[in-house]
Structure 1
């Protein structure tokens, strides 16, 4: 159970830092360096708008990262705990 809790905690931290970390950097730039954010990008849009639009793919990547880490590390540990709790023969909980 301790390994499962640790893996789950690490999973939440990675996904949270990926999504909220980018957003915090965006907000910090907006507040601290507004001249950079209002400057036009090569496409003609303000850099702030481009950074805001990039937030959506960053959040999507955080979700994909969350799912990848969950399937790779957390789910196998959860299956082991479930097997141990319900016995090796009946791996699924009964309703």
Structure 2
């Protein structure tokens, strides 16, 4: 599982101009079962996406296709983690640590 942290590198008017394209990109990720949750950070200087996948390269390629990244208005930090505990209803995302 991955936490994708976006940090805006451009003024909000440039972010807002690309927001519709970014949301369409998010919708595609949800439709493909890759994104679990997403939203703006508070204060509004970026966002966070929780994504599933076992292949970091594929997740990084997806991130690179975000209109925010393509247009250079946001940078991503990709954090991979192993969710060994989850809230009720998220059991399907639990993983076991490799020994």
TM-score in terms of structure 1 length:
0.28
Judging by fraction of residues, say which structure has more helix: 1
Give the alignment's TM-score, normalised by structure 2.
0.27
With CA pairs under 8 Å and 6+ residues apart, which has the higher RCO, 1 or 2? 2
Structure with higher strand content: 2
Q: Which has the larger radius of gyration?
A: 1
